[in-house]
């Protein structure tokens, strides 16, 4: 047995268990060894039931004395109670609501470990635990390995399908005894300096801590073994990224020329005076574009900070040098909006701007593609339709990717392959917390626009419950009478887009006919034909539509400075970052802007989100909160995130280890102890880590 052995070949793993493990992404022995305990219990020196005190979290090992169901027996709705005791003869009562299934699990005389909060029931005068975690200790001791489960610090695993923590523990133990250890690839000088245990020892002690292990460190994921595994996962990832960066820097790229004429053209295009931050960022971009290697730069800035015009400046540099520019947007609405914007400001200079999205007919697309291939279009704006194989550029020099976190790394590469190493500028409006940005965008240089255009007033955010919606509408009317415009947004749930369209449609009818019969109300949603989308956008922009009823398709990028009120219905259904993005559609002009969050039913999490938004307009703060509330996977929508899948490490919990690992990795790649060390490391990353990290090529 070695690390690559499929788990289905391991004794004790039949087809059913193998399938359950696979559902968790665990296929090989190596996968399983990276499935580390989420908690540890000290079962070496435990209290008896008689020693338990109300209020404490505790583990006890007890025998089942009696069980009973009470309440509604039908449909497992009832309360299941079991009475436990031990040599101290004191009684502990375990209670489980909806616990009917336990009637077939627990039986008198069984030995079980219980973990939970001890409470004192003043009515019955008994100690109780409500829904304790439970592990059955008696029974199927296949290998007589009872010593694994008690009398020591015991690892607790998250169950996998029907595989219990106990079964996982047994399996893990068997594998650790049988598998041949692999050599340690972490550079020796690092192991010495950071006092890291050897890899195999770290794995073993993370699963089965030695008798003198510190339980607090273990449960805080900072035992020496855990630290080593976390560090290592980050270290190889950061090495991979550093290698990619180094390689990108040696590729031949375009050395754009930045002469007087280019400067004049930029000046002629600019509709306003750039802010200091915008000037600094275009300077950084221009320096990168001048250099004879491909640019890989992320432009980060909160909503409304004015990224688009900076991107347009970069476009002018490329076009004046005889190259084409591609702009990739995540949604049709945003592509449409960019289309309008770029067309408007670049036509002054006589450039041709084209829009290419999925909703054009095949014939239209064919014509557009011809123009692109012949080099007649200077700027091509589109959704992922731009990535299709048959879209060919004559001379692509600059690729601008907007709202990058919605595209995976692979898609970014797809576009880049259309040119001979074109420069790449990625724009993101989601202020990504630093630790995450380092990993997600580790292969990019970063420019930050940290200043809003002058004259902006902070948006005032209010919360209103649904029963006060009349007041919200009359406020809205009053604002419109003062010459402003407004958005009313409805949530789209991904599974049922059609249904949300209907809701928006109905609301549109209701608002236009009953609530605001004297105002012009428009409708915008994802299913409209491209022409209708464009005309709705245009009419709203030109002020002919006063209230735009929309689904979240307007979430990113839409820019109408005269719109000063954003009403978000059922705001409890949106995530924090999404609400912040939506709110960012207002507050773009000189007038005081308002965001009103209307809610129906709220749980605690929703209340927390609404409060955060009412209190803060700081995008960085909000995204930190969002990340904390949701965790990195969900934050980016796991699949398309391009976020590497970490196993032992956790970006939220282990940010400070990431910082150390990154520093060491950059140092190691730049100054390896020897060429041989570097070669070994590159081969190791390629064989073991590349696919998992989503790094396409390394070295
Ligand atoms: P975002 O960073 O969210 O993409 P935009 O590029 O859409 O922001 O810009 C937001 C608004 O601010 C737009 O109406 C834009 O024309 C305006 N704007 C950007 N920069 C400036 C500036 N320096 N002075 C005045 N208005 C600006
Ligand atoms: Mg934008």
Whose alpha carbon is nearest atom 26 of ligand 1?
Answer: 453
Rounded to 5 degrees, φ, ψ at 428 are -135, 135
Residue carrying structure tokens 């954003």: 566
**CA–centroid distance, residue 334 to ligand 2 (Å):** 8
**CA–centroid distance, residue 585 to ligand 2 (Å):** 10
Q: Is the CB of 404 under 6 A from ligand 1?
A: no
Give the tens place of pLDDT for each residue, 353-401. Answer: 999 987 788 899 999 999 999 999 999 999 877 877 788 999 999 999 8
pLDDT exceeds 90 at position 275: yes
Smallest-distance ligand from the CA of 341: 1
Q: Which of 270, 308, 310 has the most ligand 1 atoms within 8 A of CB, as the residue to mutate? A: 308
Q: What's residue 596's pLDDT?
A: 97
pLDDT exceeds 50 at position 156: yes
Which atom number of ligand 1 is nearest to the Cα of residue 273?
Answer: 23
Question: What integer is the mean pLDDT of 270-298?
Answer: 94
Better-scored residue on pLDDT, 628 or 129 = 129
CB 582 within 8 A of CB 553: no
| Angle, vertex CA 161, rays to CA 160 and CA 167, nearest 5 | 55
Mean per-residue pLDDT over the chain, rounded: 86
CB 59 within 8 A of CB 129: no
Smallest-distance ligand from the CA of 303: 1
| Angle, vertex CA 435, rays to CA 429 and CA 439, nearest 5 | 85
Q: What's residue 696's pLDDT?
A: 44
Better-scored residue on pLDDT, 252 or 608 = 608
DSSP labels for 557-605?
T---TTEEEEEETTGGGS-HHHHHHHHTTSS-SSS--EEEEEESS--HH
Q: Which of 309, 431, 557 has the most ligand 1 atoms within 8 A of CB, as the residue to mutate? A: 309
Q: What's residue 261's pLDDT?
A: 95
Q: Is the CB of 304 under 6 A from ligand 1?
A: yes
Q: What's residue 699's pLDDT?
A: 38
Q: Is the CB of 278 under 6 A from ligand 1?
A: yes
CA distance 673 to 395: 42
CA distance 142 to 148: 12
With a CB cutoff of 8 Å and minimum separation 6, the contacts of 545 are 485, 520, 521, 522, 536, 539
Average the pLDDT over each of 81-85, 292-296, 438-442 and give the range with the smallest value.
438-442
Whose alpha carbon is nearest atom 21 of ligand 1?
Answer: 453
Smallest-distance ligand from the CA of 404: 2
Q: Is the CB of 588 under 6 A from ligand 1?
A: yes
Average the pLDDT over each of 156-165, 415-424, 446-455 and give the range with the smallest value.
415-424
Band the pLDDT of 451: cuts 50, 70, 90: confident
CB 51 within 8 A of CB 88: yes
Q: Is the CB of 308 under 6 A from ligand 1?
A: yes
Distance (Å) of CA 645 to CA 133, 347, 427, 641, 690: 28, 44, 23, 10, 11
Burial class of residue 122, CB neighbours in 10 A (0-12, 13-18, 19+)? exposed
Band the pLDDT of 642: cuts 50, 70, 90: very low
Q: What's residue 633's pLDDT?
A: 52
CB 127 within 8 A of CB 114: no
Identify the CA nearest to 288 among candidates 450, 446, 448: 446
Question: What integer is the mean pLDDT of 284-311?
Answer: 90
Report which secondary-structure segment, H or E, holds 523.
Answer: strand 521-524
Give the tens place of pLDDT for each residue, 475-524. Answer: 999 999 999 999 999 876 544 567 767 777 888 999 999 999 999 999 98
Determine the distance from the C-alpha atom of residue 435 to the mean position of all C-alpha atoms in its chain, rounded to a whole number.
12
Provide the β-strand partners of residue 597.
463, 568
Identify the CA nearest to 567 among candidates 598, 592, 532, 593: 598
Distance (Å) of CA 308 to CA 305, 337, 469, 493, 690: 9, 11, 35, 29, 34
**CA–centroid distance, residue 326 to ligand 2 (Å):** 16
Q: What's residue 544's pLDDT?
A: 94
CA distance 295 to 36: 39
Whose alpha carbon is nearest atom 9 of ligand 1?
Answer: 306
Which atom number of ligand 1 is nearest to the Cα of residue 455?
Answer: 25
Give the tens place of pLDDT for each residue, 216-241. Answer: 999 999 999 999 999 999 999 889 88
Q: Is the CB of 127 under 6 A from ligand 1?
A: no
Provide the β-strand partners of residue 28.
6
CA dihedral angle for residue 645, residue 651, residue 657, residue 663, rounded to 10 degrees? 70
Average the pLDDT over each of 3-7, 74-78, 646-650 and give the range with the smallest value.
74-78
**CA–centroid distance, residue 288 to ligand 2 (Å):** 22
Residue carrying structure tokens 């347009």: 312
Interhelix angle 307-320/260-269, nearest 10 degrees: 140
Q: Is the CB of 305 under 6 A from ligand 1?
A: yes
Question: What integer is the mean pLDDT of 268-273?
Answer: 94
Question: What integer is the mean pLDDT of 250-264?
Answer: 91
For residue 393, how many C-alpha atoms fall within 13 Å in the half-sphere facing its CB? 28
Residue carrying structure tokens 């919605």: 406
pLDDT exceeds 80 at position 316: yes
Instruction: Indicate the pTM of the whole model.
Output: 0.68
Give the tens place of pLDDT for each residue, 78-110. Answer: 789 999 999 999 999 999 988 888 888 899 999
Provide the β-strand partners of residue 116.
58
Residue 379: strand, helix, or coil: strand
Residue 479: strand, helix, or coil: helix
Both tokens of 511, joined, read 């608002």
CB 193 within 8 A of CB 623: no
Identify the CA nearest to 457 among candidates 564, 571, 332: 564
Query: Using the 8-state DSSP alphabet, how is residue 61 labeled?
Result: E
Whose alpha carbon is nearest atom 16 of ligand 1?
Answer: 306
Question: What integer is the mean pLDDT of 169-188?
Answer: 91
CA distance 301 to 447: 9
Q: Is the CB of 451 under 6 A from ligand 1?
A: no
Rounded to 5 degrees, φ, ψ at 66 are -160, 155
**CA–centroid distance, residue 76 to ligand 1 (Å):** 58
Give the tens place of pLDDT for each residue, 644-677. Answer: 567 888 877 888 898 899 999 999 999 999 999 9
pLDDT exceeds 50 at position 698: no
Q: What's the length of the chain?
A: 699
Provide the β-strand partners of residue 111.
63
Q: Is the CB of 561 under 6 A from ligand 1?
A: yes
Band the pLDDT of 556: cuts 50, 70, 90: low
Which atom number of ligand 1 is nearest to the Cα of residue 303?
Answer: 3
Q: Is the CB of 619 under 6 A from ligand 1?
A: no
Q: What's residue 81's pLDDT?
A: 92
Q: What's residue 637's pLDDT?
A: 44
Q: Is the CB of 94 under 6 A from ligand 1?
A: no
The end-to-end CA distance of the chain, in Å, is 30
Q: Is the CB of 274 under 6 A from ligand 1?
A: yes
Which atom number of ligand 1 is nearest to the Cα of residue 449?
Answer: 2
**CA–centroid distance, residue 572 to ligand 1 (Å):** 29
Q: What's residue 283's pLDDT?
A: 96
Band the pLDDT of 119: cuts 50, 70, 90: very high
Name the maximum alpha-carbon separation found in the chain.
Answer: 92
With a CB cutoff of 8 Å and minimum separation 6, the contacts of 314 are 282, 285, 286, 289, 398, 400, 423, 425
- pLDDT over 70, % of the chain: 87
Smallest-distance ligand from the CA of 335: 2
Better-scored residue on pLDDT, 515 or 629 = 515
Long-range contacts of 675-681 (CB under 8 A, 24+ apart): 677/187, 680/185, 681/185, 681/187, 681/239
Give the tens place of pLDDT for each residue, 23-55. Answer: 888 999 998 999 999 999 888 778 899 999 999
Whose alpha carbon is nearest atom 5 of ligand 1?
Answer: 306
CB 542 within 8 A of CB 522: no
Instruction: Give the chain's domains with CATH numbers.
Output: 7-39+176-232 (no CATH), 45-151 (2.40.50.140), 260-449 (3.40.50.300), 460-616 (3.40.50.300)
CB 108 within 8 A of CB 65: yes
Question: What integer is the mean pLDDT of 180-192?
Answer: 91
- pLDDT over 90, % of the chain: 49
CB 424 within 8 A of CB 417: no
Q: Is the CB of 207 under 6 A from ligand 1?
A: no
Smallest-distance ligand from the CA of 449: 1
With a CB cutoff of 8 Å and minimum separation 6, the contacts of 147 are none
Whose alpha carbon is nearest atom 17 of ligand 1?
Answer: 306
With a CB cutoff of 8 Å and minimum separation 6, the contacts of 401 are 328, 407, 412, 415, 424, 425, 426, 427
Radius of gyration (C-alpha) of the chain in whole angstroms: 30
Which strands make up the sheet holding 57-70, listed edge to edge? Answer: 119-121, 126-130, 91-97, 79-85, 57-70, 111-117, 133-136
**CA–centroid distance, residue 494 to ligand 2 (Å):** 23
Distance (Å) of CA 487 to CA 28, 496, 521, 527, 568: 52, 22, 10, 18, 8
* Most confident among 191-200, 519-528, 554-563, 567-576 (mean pLDDT): 191-200
CA distance 284 to 447: 7
pLDDT exceeds 50 at position 72: yes
Question: What integer is the mean pLDDT of 529-540?
Answer: 84
Provide the β-strand partners of residue 353.
379
Both tokens of 448, joined, read 């930050």
């Amino acid at each position: 047995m070695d690390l690559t052995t499929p788990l289905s070949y391991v004794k004790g793993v039949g087809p059913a268990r193998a399938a359950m493990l696979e559902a968790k992404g665990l296929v090989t022995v190596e996968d399983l060894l990276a499935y580390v305990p989420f908690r540890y219990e000290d079962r070496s020196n435990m209290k008896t039931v008689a020693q338990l005190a109300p209020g404490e979290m505790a583990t006890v090992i007890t025998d089942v004395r009696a069980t009973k169901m009470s309440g509604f027996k039908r449909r497992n709705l009832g309360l299941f109670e079991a009475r436990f005791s031990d040599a101290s003869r004191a009684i502990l009562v375990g209670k489980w609501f909806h616990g009917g299934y336990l009637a077939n699990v627990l039986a008198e005389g069984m030995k079980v470990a219980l973990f939970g909060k001890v409470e004192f029931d003043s009515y019955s005068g008994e100690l109780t635990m409500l829904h304790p975690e439970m592990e059955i200790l008696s029974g199927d001791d296949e290998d007589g390995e009872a010593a694994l489960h008690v009398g020591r610090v015991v690892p607790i695993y998250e169950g996998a399908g029907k595989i219990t923590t106990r079964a996982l523990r047994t399996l893990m133990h068997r594998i650790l005894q049988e598998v041949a250890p692999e050599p340690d690839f972490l550079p020796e000088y690092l192991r010495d300096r950071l006092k890291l245990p050897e890899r195999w020892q770290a794995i073993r002690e993370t699963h089965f801590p030695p008798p003198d292990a510190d339980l607090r460190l273990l449960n805080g994921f900072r035992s020496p073994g855990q630290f080593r595994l976390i560090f290592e996962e980050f270290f190889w990832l950061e090495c991979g990224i550093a290698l990619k960066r180094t390689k990108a820097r040696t590729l031949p790229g375009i050395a754009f020329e930045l002469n007087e004429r280019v400067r004049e053209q930029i000046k002629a295009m600019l509709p306003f005076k750039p802010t200091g931050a915008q000037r600094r960022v275009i300077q950084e971009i221009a320096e990168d574009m001048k250099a004879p290697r491909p640019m890989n730069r992320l432009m980060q800035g909160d909503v409304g900070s004015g990224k688009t015009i900076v991107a347009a400046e970069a476009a002018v540099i490329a076009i004046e040098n005889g190259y084409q520019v591609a702009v990739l947007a995540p949604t049709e609405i945003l592509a449409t909006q960019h289309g309008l914007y770029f067309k408007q400001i670049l036509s002054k200079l006589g450039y041709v701007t084209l829009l290419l999205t999925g909703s054009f007919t095949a014939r239209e697309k064919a014509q557009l593609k011809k123009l692109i291939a012949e080099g007649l279009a200077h700027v091509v704006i589109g959704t992922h339709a731009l990535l299709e194989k048959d879209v060919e550029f004559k001379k692509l020099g600059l690729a601008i990717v907007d709202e990058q976190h919605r595209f995976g790394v692979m898609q970014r590469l797809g576009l880049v392959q259309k040119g001979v190493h074109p420069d790449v500028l990625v724009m993101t409006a989601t202020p990504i917390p630093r630790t995450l940005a380092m990993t997600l965008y580790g292969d990019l240089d970063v420019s930050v626009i940290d200043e809003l255009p002058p004259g902006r007033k902070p948006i005032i955010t209010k919360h209103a419950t649904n029963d006060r919606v009349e007041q919200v509408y009359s406020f809205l009317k009053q604002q419109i009478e003062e010459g402003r415009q407004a958005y009313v947004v409805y949530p789209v749930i991904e599974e049922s887009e059609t249904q949300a369209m209907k809701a928006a449609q109905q609301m549109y009818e209701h608002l236009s006919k009953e609530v605001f019969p004297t105002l012009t109300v428009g409708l915008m949603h994802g299913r409209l034909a491209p022409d209708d989308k464009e005309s709705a956008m245009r009419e709203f922009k030109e002020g002919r539509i006063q209230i735009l009823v929309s689904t979240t398709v307007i979430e990113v990028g839409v820019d109408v400075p005269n719109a000063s009120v954003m009403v978000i219905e059922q705001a409890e259904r949106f995530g924090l970052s999404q609400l912040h993005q939506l709110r960012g559609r207002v507050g773009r002009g000189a007038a005081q802007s308002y965001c009103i969050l209307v809610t129906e039913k709220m749980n605690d999490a929703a209340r927390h989100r609404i409060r955060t938004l009412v209190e803060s307009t700081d995008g960085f703060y909000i995204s930190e909160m969002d990340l904390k509330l949701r965790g990195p996977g969900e934050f980016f929508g796991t699949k398309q995130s391009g976020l590497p899948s970490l196993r032992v490490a956790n970006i939220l919990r282990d940010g400070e280890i990431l910082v150390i690992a990154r520093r060491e990795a950059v140092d190691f790649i730049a100054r390896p102890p020897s060429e041989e060390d570097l070669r070994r490391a590159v081969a190791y990353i390629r064989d073991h880590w590349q696919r998992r990290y989503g790094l396409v090529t390394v070295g």
